[in-house]
Amino acid sequence: MKIGKRALLLAAMLATLTMVLAACSSGTSSKDKTATAGAGGAKTPAAGATTAATKAATGAAGSITVKKGDKIKIGISTTLTTDNAELGIPIRDAALLAIKTKGTIKGFGIEGDPQDDGCAGPASVTAANKLIADGVVAVIGPMCSGGAVAALDPLSGANMLTVSASATNPSVTAQGKKNFFRTAWNDATQGAEMAKYAYTTLGKKNVVLVNDQSTYGKGLMDVFKASFTAAGGKVASEEAVTVGEKDFGPTVTKIKGESPDLVVFGGFIAEGAVLVRQLKDAGVTASFMGADGIADQKYIDQSGGAAEGSYVSRGPKPTDTKLYDAFAAAYKAEYKKDAGQFTEQATDATNIVLAAIEKVATVDGSGNLVIDRQKLIDAVAATSYAGASGQIDFDAKGDRKVVGAVNEIDQVKSGKLTRIQ
């Protein structure tokens, strides 16, 4: 009985194994239907042992071929789980809207491929791998700075065009990956501009900084501190809040004890809204200033009125908001919701990518669309695009050049973000 069972099992396993191999060899080719690695790839495989691997990888280098009748896939790496999905879902929606609006490129349909990047390194790498495997032409994202830094490893390995709308930390472009660009503003720019505005325009001299212990929040506050103290201001103390907590009582009490004239916050909506309200509840009279992480109507809504009067830096913006207004109207028409923070950068990022595809894609003899990865990246690097978030030109590192824009500062007036600079 026992021997028989075991023999049966082994036979079954062998049979399955054969099936696996068969399924795989056919599976690989079917999987790479949408996009296959073209010949003449610029990148040489690392070593003999990895040749097979490189061959199976989809479009690791060289060019992407979209077969006739298939759609061009655009990857969207954003946060769909955890509380940060509050920002991540609108980013996805904005990108999908841009894709929908564009409709087709050279007769080929376009579709978005959203993947959850968890706003963190490991999940962003997985999302990147997934998008590479799915044969996307380019990636919009990753959403968060930490995730972007980590995901750039596989993405640059695949020479994948990557444009993030929201990863703002200086470290993201510090690695000098040639395939990466961002329509978000480098915090080095924004933090300095915020500090200048706080010190010079608002005349604040004594501030408390609060960060959410994230790559973004801490990074931004570090830049702010450097610029603010260089200008002659004083940072009374640096505090932190923990993402996921809702009661910052002791931190608020401590801030109150410092009697600052401004509290600056680096972080996202969930914590920012709670913090500003608890400061107000505690009777802290200092002004409150945040940045693009909270630049959203949801920040005001969730603060239950306490956000009134707070300053919100949105990064450099054009003074002319015609294009933004048009985008916001379209977004609202589509989703019945106001366009949130980073959505305009997301739509711009998507449009830049789509325009670049349009420019470099060629239809070959058999009616397939061929897109050369390097040419695509070069096309984006050369972009000069006037979008909803302003004029976009990239520098050598992939950061936005500040042209024709000032750092937008909004103030919450009557429950709305109102531009004051």
> Which residue, 20 or 42, is less far from another protein as judged by CB?
20
> Which residue, 88 or 387, is less far from another protein as judged by CB?
88
Site stretch for another protein (CB under 8 A), options 116-124, 325-333, 348-356, 358-366? 116-124
49 binds another protein (CB under 8 A): yes
CB 263 within 8 A of CB 240: no
Task: Give me the phi and psi of 292, to 5 degrees please.
Answer: -60, -20
Within 8 A by CB and 6+ apart from 174, the residues are 397
Site stretch for another protein (CB under 8 A), options 66-74, 102-110, 234-242, 376-384? 234-242
Nearest to 278 by CA among 305, 296, 238: 305
Alpha helix (H) ranges present in 32-106?
A: 51-56, 85-102
Question: What is residue 261's DSSP assignment?
Answer: S
Report helix, strand or coil for 71.
Answer: coil
Site stretch for another protein (CB under 8 A), options 45-53, 66-74, 287-295, 316-324? 45-53
- Binders of another protein among residues 279 to 298 (CB under 8 A) are 281-283, 298
Per-residue interface string for the shown chain with another protein, residues 168-207, x marking contact by CB under 8 A: -x-x--xx--------------------------------
- 292/331 Cα distance (integer angstroms): 19
18 binds another protein (CB under 8 A): no
218 binds another protein (CB under 8 A): yes
Interface residue with another protein, options 277, 314, 317, 400 (CB under 8 A): 277
H helix or E strand, kind and range, residue 346: helix 343-360
Give the nearest distance from C-beta 406 to another protein in angstroms: 27
358 binds another protein (CB under 8 A): no
Nearest to 189 by CA among 411, 405, 345: 405
10 binds another protein (CB under 8 A): yes
Give the nearest distance from C-beta 369 to another protein in angstroms: 21
> Which residue, 215 or 407, is less far from another protein as judged by CB?
215
> Which residue, 133 or 363, is less far from another protein as judged by CB?
133
269 binds another protein (CB under 8 A): yes
Alpha helix (H) ranges present in 32-84?
A: 51-56
Per-residue interface string for the shown chain with another protein, residues 122-161, x marking contact by CB under 8 A: x--xx--xx-xxx----------xx--xx--xx--xx---
Give the nearest distance from C-beta 60 to another protein in angstroms: 8
- 46/184 Cα distance (integer angstroms): 33
Interface residue with another protein, options 41, 43, 70, 83 (CB under 8 A): 83
Nearest to 221 by CA among 240, 206, 247, 203: 240
- 101/36 Cα distance (integer angstroms): 27
- 341/117 Cα distance (integer angstroms): 18
CB 361 within 8 A of CB 317: no
Give the nearest distance from C-beta 201 to another protein in angstroms: 28
Interface residue with another protein, options 71, 97, 116, 346 (CB under 8 A): 116
Residue 97's alpha-carbon distances to 92, 288, 417, in angstroms, are: 9, 33, 23
